[in-house]
Amino acid sequence: MADRYLSFAGTAPGRFLTRRLGLPQPAELIRRSPERPGFSGELLLLTAGKPDLDAELTPVLARTGLRPGADSPVAVVLDATGVRDVEALGEVHAALHPVVRSVAASGRIVVLGAPLDRTDHHQYAAQQALEGFVRSLGKEAGRGRTVNLVRLAGDARSAESTLRFLLSPRSAYVSGQVIEVGAGPVAVPDDWERPLAGRTALVTGAARGIGAAVAETLARDGARVVVLDVPAARAEARAVAERLGGEALALDITEADAGARIADALPAGLDVLVHNAGITRDRRLVNMPAERWGSVLDVNLGSVLRTTDALLERGAVNAGGRIVGTASIAGIAGNAGQTNYGASKAGIVGLVRGLAPRALAEHGVTVNAVAPGFIETRMTASIPLFIREAGRRMNSLGQGGTPGDVAETVGWLAPRGGGADHGQVVRVCGQSLLGA
């Protein structure tokens, strides 16, 4: 369902009217395309506090392809890792206050922070302050600009894939996020354009919508993809697989032996497992029969737990493998009419947090999730008009995301990056006003 308001607001009369009436003014976002795989332009590196980061930061940023400059930067990176007290927060203001206005439309502001120090409440307070700062600036930035905070436990190289993602058009709909990057060993791909070359990725629910976009992105990044969907969607799944040079697997993920059947279909094992299949069966709790509750919990959470356990126990996820779940902001903020869905998606957040440390220690596998906000798909096209319009506008970018926005985020989490980006739930929601 086309977003006509977004198209109208992009025209000269639309801009005039929306400004005069005080209506939202969403900007057309710059997204990755074959013609524009990355940004070109200037990157401005600033510091606040006494920077803690190593000398690697400058070369890491140089490898993004952006050139140092301050005229109209497409990206601003503020190294605030050394901010340890309230006084140093003044340097955050001093660094960004003069430059924010000059950041290009659809530009990026990334603040680098340090892990919160439980032994020093002044550092803790100052670093926590950065979260409120970033989230507030994200709401002010406008013109499609995004603002994110990356908390770095290790050196700058461990954040390279995260910085490349955030400083590129791939992260167009990711804003107001706090991403923690651990100090684990770093695996640098031979080719950053095809980091999944030689890897096998399975995406559930990939016959259409977000799952099909994820499969497409992972194939573009070099993976051999397996497109799993219910037998009723066999033809669509096969069409997606054929287009991507992959294979289709007709399987209802709620089948008790789904994990075993996936493992049997992939004797050489899996490198990337994306749990994307999901359903909604909305009703307020007072009107919700047990069947609606049960089917949503089973597709969205129960089957994800069962297949993950079965595949890990059989050793079917190769060492260095990646598991990416699909949560939702409904699971973070809650949503009327979606107690079943909200519960299932919050369960995915729990699965990530509960499994991540053990999966890495016992299987060498990392676990993360994406939490989409309002994404333009068949699922959201069926929402009544006014609720749909509200969903689209109630975020800092004033518009819905695309399946490609979620897919690019999965594409960032899918390659081996060592233990660096791990145990994260990353919202792809344009900084939705719902939830933290």
154 vs 342 by CB, closer to ligand NAD: 342
| Binding positions for ligand NAD, 300-359, rule CB under 6 A | 326, 328
DSSP characters over 73-88: -SEEEEEEEE--SHHH
Please say if 124 is a catalytic residue.
Answer: no
CA distances from 66 to 11, 41, 43, 132 (A): 30, 6, 6, 28
207 vs 316 by CB, closer to ligand NAD: 207
Among 207, 219, 304, 397, binds ligand NAD (CB under 6 A): 207
Among 375, 414, 425, 426, binds ligand NAD (CB under 6 A): 375
CA 350 to centroid of chain Cα atoms = 17
159 vs 248 by CB, closer to ligand NAD: 248
Among 9, 77, 225, 299, binds ligand NAD (CB under 6 A): 299
Tell me the three state secondary structure of residue 414: coil
Task: Provide, rounded to whole angstroms, the least separation between the CB of residue 24 and ligand NAD.
Answer: 18
Q: How do beta strands 224-229 and 200-204 pair? A: parallel
| Stretch binding ligand NAD (CB under 6 A), from 60-68, 89-97, 141-149, 201-209 | 201-209
* Token couple for 300: 């969205």
- DSSP3 helix / strand / coil % (the chain, rounded to 5): 45, 20, 40
Distance between CA atoms of residues 142 and 19, nearest Å: 13
45 vs 277 by CB, closer to ligand NAD: 277
Q: Is 177 in the site for ligand NAD (CB under 6 A)?
A: no
Q: Give the per-residue contact string, 90-119, with ligand NAD (x = CB under 6 A; - = no).
A: ------------------------------
State phi, psi for 145 to the nearest 5 degrees: -80, 145
Task: Provide, rounded to whole angstroms, the least separation between the CB of residue 375 and ligand NAD.
Answer: 3
Place of tokens 């596998």: 365
Tell me the three state secondary structure of residue 269: coil
Which has the closest alpha carbon to 32: 422, 412, 433? 412
For 386-407, give the secondary structure using H, E and C.
HHHHHHHHCECCCCCECHHHHH
* Token couple for 328: 């939702």
Q: Is 230 in the site for ligand NAD (CB under 6 A)?
A: yes
Q: Give the per-residue contact string, 246-285, with ligand NAD (x = CB under 6 A; - = no).
A: ------xxx---------------------xxxx------
Q: Is 368 in the site for ligand NAD (CB under 6 A)?
A: no
Residues near ligand NAD (CB under 6 A) are: 204-205, 207-211, 229-230, 233, 252-254, 276-279, 299, 326, 328, 372, 374-375, 377-380
